Structure 1
C-alpha cells in the first residue's frame, strides 16, 4: 500500500513540476528568451511523458512522444 501511495505522490510531484516548468516556458516565450523557452518546454514535455506512462494513458504518452520528437528535431536543426 505504501508503495502505491509513494508512486502516486511522486507522479503528482512530477505532474506539478512539469506544469510549472512549462508555465515558465510560456513566460520565456513572451519575453523572447529563446532558446531558454525551448529547453523549458522540453523538460516539461519529458515530465508529462513520464506522467502519461505512469498512468498507463496511451493517448497522453503518444502525444508527448510525438511532441518530444518534434522538439528534439527542431532543436537539432536550429
Structure 2
C-alpha cells in the first residue's frame, strides 16, 4: 500500500472521528446546558467545543506523523 494512501486513510479517519465528537458535544450542550452554567453560557460552550476540535486536530497531526514514520521504517 503506498505511503500517500496510508496517510490519506489516517487523515480521513480522524476527520470523521472529530466531526462525530463535535456533533456529540453539540448535542450534549443542547440537551443539558446546565453543564456549562445555563443557557446564557453559549460562548463558553462554543469555546470548549472549539478546544475539543482543536485537540482532535492535534491528535490527527500526531497520528499522521506516526503513520508516515512507521511506513518509512517498514520501507513502504
TM-score w.r.t. length of structure 2: 0.49
TM-score w.r.t. length of structure 1: 0.48
Largest Rg, 1 or 2:
2
Higher RCO (C-alpha 8 Å, min separation 6): 2
